[in-house]
């Protein structure tokens, strides 16, 4: 192909893929032009060339590269909050540190947030200090669920164990060296569904 720059092709393809990662849609010719500094007419010409040689395809959804074709489009934006104590009840930091996009097929439908575990009371459930925990936001839980429990303005991550025999709720640590926290009542803020570990 005469008068075609491989660097320009790579720049446009990378721009399209990075835009898709951020917005889960492909950019327009104008947006590609604004991001790359390449004129709209040149962008249009390169898109036509790239389509002709099979580097991209154009569909009703816009421009697609092989990377975009393989990428799941249904993403969930999940707020990453502060740390949650995996120990005695303590105040939970509720500031938002940022957002993480996760595939809906990974977390399911609903509202979610991510907390970072602090402490060692849940180590026997595979939750270590520093692990990120995906929490499904809900106000109910089943016996045995690992929950974010709020009691008396303080919160913790524990296994939810209502005890009808004493009309109280046990917040059970998954650490055999620790005792249950027993409360009259608590507010379930969410149920842990997945743990993300650092390698």
Give me the active site residues, please: 121, 158
Measured in degrees and rounded to the nearest 5, phi and psi for residue 165 equal -65, -30
**CA distances for 117 relative to 4, 41, 88, 161, angstroms:** 52, 52, 13, 20
As to burial, measured by CB atoms within 10 angstroms (0-12 exposed, 13-18 middle, 19+ buried), residue 90 is middle
Separation of alpha carbons 132 and 141, rounded Å: 20
């Amino acid at each position: 192909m005469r008068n075609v720059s491989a660097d320009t092709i790579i720049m446009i393809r990378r721009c399209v893929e990075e835009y898709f990662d951020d917005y889960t849609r492909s950019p327009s010719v104008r947006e590609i032009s604004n991001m790359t500094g390449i004129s709209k007419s040149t962008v249009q010409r390169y898109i036509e060339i790239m389509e002709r040689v099979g580097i991209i395809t154009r569909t009703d959804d816009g421009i697609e590269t092989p990377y975009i074709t393989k990428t799941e489009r249904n993403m969930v934006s999940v707020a990453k909050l502060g740390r949650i104590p995996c120990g005695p009840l303590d105040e939970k930091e509720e500031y938002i540190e940022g957002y993480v996009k996760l595939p809906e097929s990974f977390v399911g439908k609903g509202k979610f947030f991510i907390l970072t575990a602090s402490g060692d009371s849940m180590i026997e459930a595979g939750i270590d200090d520093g692990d990120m925990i995906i929490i499904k936001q809900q106000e109910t839980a089943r016996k045995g669920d690992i929950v974010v429990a709020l009691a008396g303005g303080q919160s913790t991550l524990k296994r939810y164990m209502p005890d009808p025999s004493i009309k109280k709720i046990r917040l059970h640590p998954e650490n055999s060296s620790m005792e249950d926290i027993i409360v009259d009542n608590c507010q379930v803020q969410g149920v842990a569904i997945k743990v993300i570990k650092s390698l």
